Amino acid sequence: MTIKYVFLVSRQAKIRLVKWYTTLSQKEKAKTMKEVSQLVLARKPKQCNFIEHRDTKVVYRKYASLYFVAGIGLDDNELLTLEIIHRYVEVLDRFFGN
């Protein structure tokens, strides 16, 4: 399983947290974050949580007013990535006591 990036974005398109697991230039990272954020925020609630963007699959899930977004390889399992996002949210929830 190859996770290329993970970031949290608000409904107002503000990036709240970013972690990259691949090496890209700052310009390319900014471009990718902007494009993916726009794609995710433009989708309707009833649409699928998976998008193909360039050479990655984008998997996202909305919790409250934040979107948790992960970019994975094209041959990786989307459902496993959704489970990883859910576990991450549970850990954050326990740590911060909400």
**Global pTM value:** 0.91
Q: What mean pLDDT is predicted for residues 47-69? A: 94
How much is the mean pLDDT over the chain? 93
Which candidate, 37, 34, 65, 63, places its Cα nearest to that of 51?
Answer: 37
The residue type found at 46 is K
Rounded CA-CA distance 7/18 in Å is 4
The residue type found at 44 is K
Q: What is the pLDDT of residues 28-51, one digit of tens each?
A: 999 999 999 999 999 998 999 999
The residue type found at 37 is S
Q: What is the pLDDT of residues 86-95, one digit of tens each?
A: 999 999 999 9
